[in-house]
Amino acid sequence: MKHLDGGLENVKGFSYSSIKCGIRYADRLDYSLILSDTMCNAAGVFTTNRMTAAPVKLCRERINGSIRGILVNATNANACTGAEGFTNSKILTADVAKRLNLAEESILMASTGIIGRQLPLDKMLESHGKLITNLSGENGPLLAQAIMTTDTVPKQAAVSFTCGGREYRIAGTAKGSGMIAPRMATLLAFLVTDAPVDRENLEKIFRAAVNKTLNSITIDGDTSTNDTAIILSPDTGKYIQDADSLSAFTEALEAVLMKLAEMLVQDGEGATKSVKIHVINAATDDDAMLIARAVGQSLLVKTAFFGNDPNWGRIACAAGYSGAALEEENLSISIENIPLLVNGIPAEADYSQLEKVLKNRNYTVTVDMGLGSGDAIMLTTDISYDYVKINAQYST
């Protein structure tokens, strides 16, 4: 497996278009189309929020069919928009499909932005001609930029891998820097591959890979209404199916997803830190995840990270209320191998060394439960003044 520069444009057989439609703001890329040259199998992982946006409902209806493309808009989530919002997403995908001479069910849709406003339907329909004209295999970076909301940098990743003597590629892009929680961790992620994988394997492998990557990051603990991760794989009828090939595909997919996940955390709203919470020796893997989430989401832990504050008591406290099994006399906590709590007893830490570590942008907190063999990792951010500022001013 080899990491490649850039993103979506690395995979042949797909084209992209992003334009300034003026959905909410006058002068920004906000409307995009991903189109495959051939019919694709698709797999999707969507928000677990019961308040689901119209485009998520649409994707759920269509994802198991033959897919050719994905329509994507930023700046308006088309969530809490009732029957009208759902109808709008159908009208938009139907119009694009018609212009391309495709079945309307072959186009998916994803939206991100403000909740509770109807899409400007006429304006968007009028732009479809231009949207299609602009399609090009080189426009991957433009799309990565067009789907951003409060993101400060576009996020893209690509790898190549070999199986059965052939080189394949997987590439992806993602956006999301607020409303990021560990159950479906990003607002939008789109992946394409030229590796043909049958629908059943694609679904299984994609879901597992998302769980290990996008679902292991948290910024503010809010699961959004619009979370959508979709992969498209050409439906050639001749699939890679032997165990070795699928395993190479899985490894490559996880690499792309993990790179995107890390980029999302690095660009978390207002974040000045990217901290890995590594829980080891918990009673079970589920317990380890409960602890990793409680620590990674604790406001007190996250503000301490921001303050470069070795306040490990807050980490112990969060582990304590996580719901997981905990024996105080077995609990140890360290930051970058500097022990702070050892079997329930505060350690004589080297605070000058610790101070240096805490000033870094990236470090690892290890929580050793001393109970079993369960482990879990959660990538989290700090909570800074800027997080508050960004989110106090977003809607109005």
Task: By CB under 8 A, name the binding residues for a second copy.
Answer: 48-52, 77, 79-82, 84, 114-118, 178-179, 181, 183, 220-225, 298-300, 303-304, 306-314, 316-321, 325-326, 328-329, 331, 340-341, 344-346, 383-385, 387-389, 391-396
- Does residue 173 carry a catalytic annotation? no
CA dihedral (291, 297, 299, 302) in degrees, to 10, reads 90
Instruction: Name residue 241's beta-bridge partners.
Output: none
Question: Which residue, 6 or 313, has its beta carbon nearer to a second copy?
Answer: 313
Question: Which residue, 26 or 392, has its beta carbon nearer to a second copy?
Answer: 392
Compute the least distance from the CB of residue 177 to a second copy, in Å.
Answer: 12
Report which residue type is found at 75.
T
User: What sign for the dihedral angle of Cα 147, 150, 153, 156?
Assistant: negative
Compute the least distance from the CB of residue 122 to a second copy, in Å.
Answer: 19
User: From CA 266, how far away is CA 115, in angstroms rounded?
Assistant: 25
Compute the least distance from the CB of residue 345 to a second copy, in Å.
Answer: 5
User: From CA 251, how far away is CA 195, in angstroms rounded?
Assistant: 13
Tokens 């970076």 identify what position? 141
Compute the least distance from the CB of residue 229 to a second copy, in Å.
Answer: 17
SS3 label, residue 147: coil
Among 173, 186, 218, 380, the active-site one is 186
**Phi, psi angle pair for 313, to nearest 5°:** -60, -35
Question: Which residue, 337 or 395, has its beta carbon nearer to a second copy?
Answer: 395
Question: Which residue, 173 or 366, has its beta carbon nearer to a second copy?
Answer: 366
Cα–chain center distance at 98 = 31
Compute the least distance from the CB of residue 214 to a second copy, in Å.
Answer: 16
User: From CA 268, how far away is CA 274, in angstroms rounded?
Assistant: 9
Question: Which residue, 140 or 268, has its beta carbon nearer to a second copy?
Answer: 268
Instruction: Record the tokens describing residue 228, joined without a space.
Output: 């959508």
Q: Which residues are catalytic?
A: 186
